[in-house]
Amino acid sequence: MCRYYIYDVILNIDHGRQSRAWSAVEGEAVIMMRALWSAASGMRAQQANVDAISNNLANVNTVGYKTEKPEFKSLLYQTIQTETTSANGAQKPISAQVGLGTRLASVTSHFGDGQLQDVESNSALAISGDGLFAVNGLDNQVYYTRNGDFYWSQGANGLTLCTSEGYQVMDTNGNEIILPDEVDASRVTVSTDGVIGYVDVQNQYVPLNQSVGLFQFNNDAGLEKIAGTYYVETPASGAPMNEATTAGLRRSRVSQGYLEGSNVQVADEMVNMIVAQRAYELNSRAITTSDTMLEQANNLKR
């Protein structure tokens, strides 16, 4: 147990007197000083900021990765003085409020396009625009992603377009994309609108009457990230809108044989890292300064 004697100056407005009072606070180093809590919350916030920046830099080469941006909000303000009137009745509109720090409000993904990368695979697909691929994830839950690193996998009914995790890619009707057994996967084509077909042995184009499903959301930032580059819809994101059936949507463009790289800007992230580091350092200095001030106040009692 520690005993801290905190020197408080209490101004008694009545009769114009000023009195000083000592308050002893017993407990496990309980220190009533706003600067300590504000600076501590600032350090926690900047730690979360650095965590997000580090994750962005770690995923700079991850296909379909979207930059994560932490957002912060102020904590409650303590009102020290409200608007009052002077002795002669004049209005004194000036108030005094002291902030109590900050906290992490959210970490959102920014869905700007990444750089397209040419790859030697005709099953690889990249999106330019606002659309997302839909895949049949765990427990038949629909996942949405910009990672178009797809493969043809042998299934019961033929070759099925899948992700590297084995999730089936969905078409515009929410069904699996399946090739008949007689179709050579290397001869499959996907148009910029996502229409799937193939070239037969007579070099004739044959449509498969299936198109890659592309979906948009009113609020991409409201999507919940579950793992890797996969997202699920939430009430905040709104329901998915099928580009093939929803009027008024700006259609996305599909590029076959390409993958979309991450949209992480390394230079920006390095600048953000330096700013976060300096902010963390300044908050730690504020804690050190507050601790020194408290020590000086405690010594006044001795």
Tell whether the model's pLDDT for residue 179 goes beyond 50.
yes
Lowest mean pLDDT among 15-24, 122-131, 239-248, 255-264: 15-24
% of the chain residues with pLDDT over 90: 57
Tokens of 91: 């209005």
Does pLDDT of 31 surpass 60? no
For residue 82, what pLDDT is reported? Answer: 65
C-alpha 101/C-alpha 43 separation (Å) is 10
What is the widest separation between alpha-carbon atoms in the chain? Answer: 105
Average pLDDT estimate for 3-20: 35
Mean pLDDT, range 232-236, rounded to an integer: 95
Q: Name the one residue in this structure whose structure tokens are 């148009």.
A: 191
Least confident of 19-33, 84-98, 245-259: 19-33
Q: What is the mean pLDDT of residues 194-220?
A: 92
**What pLDDT, on the 0 to 100 scale, is given for residue 228?**
84
> What is the pLDDT at residue 85?
67
Confidence (pLDDT) at 14:
36
How far apart CA 184 and CA 189 sit, in angstroms, is 11
Q: pLDDT digit string (tens) for 237-282?
A: 999 999 999 998 999 999 999 999 999 999 999 999 999 999 999 9
- Which backbone phi and psi does 294 adopt, to 5 degrees? -65, -40
Residue type, 108: T
Q: How far apart are CA 168 and CA 151, in angstroms?
A: 10
Backbone phi and psi for residue 164, each to the nearest 5 degrees, phi listed first: -65, -20
Q: What is the mean pLDDT of the chain?
A: 84
pLDDT of 146 over the 60 cut:
yes
Question: In the prediction, which pLDDT does 173 show?
Answer: 93
Listed in sequence order, the residues at least 6 apart from 13 whose beta carbon sits closer than 8 Å to its beta carbon are: none
Structure-derived torsion over alpha carbons of residues 281, 286, 291, 297, reported in degrees to the nearest 10: 160
**The pair of three-digit structure tokens given for residue 136, joined into one six-digit string:** 């049949």
Q: Which strand (E) or helix (H) includes residue 159?
A: strand 158-162
- For 51-85, write each residue's pLDDT tens digit: 999 999 999 999 999 999 999 888 776 666 666 66
CA dist 22 and 8 (Å) reads 6
What local confidence, expressed as pLDDT, does residue 33 receive? Answer: 73
CA distance 66 to 130: 13
Q: What angle do CA 60, 62, 64 make, to 5 degrees?
A: 110
Band of pLDDT at residue 20, cut at 50, 70 and 90: very low
